[in-house]
Structure 1
Amino acid sequence: MPSINWAEVRSSPLKSLKIVFTATFQTFVALFRRLIPFTSRPLGLRNAIARAWLGITFVHNAKILYSEPSSHHAQKIEEPGFTTFVIPTTKPAVLWGADAVVLFEHGGGMIMGHPLQYLDTYERWVKEASKIGKKIVILALQYPLSTAEKWPAQRSHMLAFYKWVLAQGVSPSRIVMSGDSAGADLILLTLLHIRDHEPTSPMPACLALHSPWLDLTATETTNSPHYCSDFLLEYDQGAPVMNEYLRPAGTRPDTPEISALLVKDVSGLPPQLVSYSKTEILGSDSVRWVQRSRQAGGDVTEHATSGEMHTFSMGWPITGSRMQAQSDEVLLNFIFKYVK
């Protein structure tokens, strides 16, 4: 789940009050709609209420959810070329003994967000893995946001990060790359770069992609019929801005440099888990990616559902406890099928 930054809530009291009043009103609207017969209900009541609160929060102050928690104990590692956070806090040597080392790249369109915005999710994954007798360590990358540096700075940090993990003696057969939304795009673009320019570098064991955003032109996802069943309330306005900030100067919005779906050859990638909802705005990106990957000979596992929102597989509050548990089980089963 996104970790709530209470310091951010307190620092902007007027915005926070506006969020509370607007989201409360939208909650009553969602409740009222349940009373109207023969109306479309793409989301259950629980998710409809979550949509109201998440959507309004992102509109007025996304940092409440997409920023570094005001208090945490995650270990920070700063190396030349990258910064990462380790969950649980551990010595580098312990990485060698972990059953799986997960390199996580956060979403946020590469224009906002923080690697610890999902701290509660990381800690839950570690706990769930321990219940089945497995030890995982999560390294969450802090890459430069596009407001500070354009592409390929993000990929450069990802490459330095991956090479450092390998240099610690971690076998690539125990490395999992995972990311949500644009973070998944960063992973795929980095691995396609390695395939083409560093063919002697090993690939990780597998990839876990959560509601990936892979076509930053947004040509097939704007004016989505699923707008009313997702919390990305300003996606149509925001997508072109994110593209503009990220892409290198002098390139077109449809440059494949920043959109994995626009790369002609997507072969040679590790086994993938793609989790998405058929009723989220970006669901079609996942459908297209799965199809293209399989056509290129890729090993792809789909975790597809309906009635869920963007990045639901990261857990509460985006989804409820039942889907959270199901998504965690799918993820861990996938990881331990491929890591050795």
Structure 2
Amino acid sequence: MEVQREPVRVAVIFGGRSSEHAVSCLGAGSVLKVIDRAKYDVVPIGIAKDGRWVLASEGQRYELEGTVLPTVDEAGAELALPSTPGGLTVLTPGSPPRVLTKVDVVFPVMHGPFGEDGTIQGLLEMAGIRYVGSGVLASAVGMDKAFMKMVLAQAGLPVGPHLVVSERAWRLERKRVVDDVDELGYPVFVKPARAGSSQGISKARDRGELEAAVEHAREHDPKVLIEKAIVGREIECAVLESLGDDPPETSIPGEVLVGGDHEFYDFDAKYIGEDMTLVAPADIPAEVAEQVRGMAARAFAALGCEGLSRVDFFYTDSGELILNEINTMPGFTDASIAPQLWAASGLPYPDLVDRLIQLALDRPSGLR
């Protein structure tokens, strides 16, 4: 008689304390729609904006409604963080604590600080729970654009001219910072060093616009990155860890085209309206496409990434490729760039979700 196995229990964790809370909810909503319920027992777990963990409602739709972004419903039963391997405790007012059935793997659809930056990965490592995506170090380095660029440059990958402004430097040495930006050359893009989804980014064309741009970035992160503007086409490539010992796979490259009144690929262009188009495959020479894929795989290896990533490039009129950044947990709705690139490469979104869960299950927890 065949023994019927229990389905694998997958906790989809989303929300969080960062300014990318809504983006995380959007991605989780897409994952919850397509995950194979015959294969997986799914537990949606939301992290409220104040950091509380709650059992999220299966019935809530985590999607854009007009221009209204979704958020975690805080009315669910509160959860205590893992204290034993694989376990979560449900805290219901007026009732004794109860242990949630053991979680086999976590899919952390988390973006920004307190989630994508190695913090939740460290928590899951301590609890002995497998999870989708990169480990603690790769997640932390990938989140901090200043250290990311250092690692990429050390690996021999081309990065653009930039400088880093600490909270202390901006407060005590502002004139020196401004002089350094003069030497870097305008225009520049000013962005939070540890944020994503184009949150807090603005363009400064001269000294007069610089201070406001830095203060805008500091609303998201006291550490600021200032990059010399690079004129070029925006080329994207997704990377996916292989099952087994094969090298990571790369998608066909795509090109991001931004329309409307957007001067660059900002938050509204990414998530609100229809001002962004992804052309996949990108209309670039075959040898350039291969170079993009090779550099994307090298960036993935340089950071020690696992699971998935998306690597962003500029392709200049002179034919130069400059690596802008790597995202260890890129936007993950079915309409986001990385899933679209994989769909165009022959891996549909539901299969991508399944592949990532299988990769996580196949990977040991702890040091590796």
Q: TM tier, shorter chain?
A: 0.3 to 0.5
Q: Which has the higher strand share?
A: 2
Structure number with greater Rg is: 2
State the TM-score, normalizing by the size of structure 1: 0.38
Q: Which has the higher helix share?
A: 1
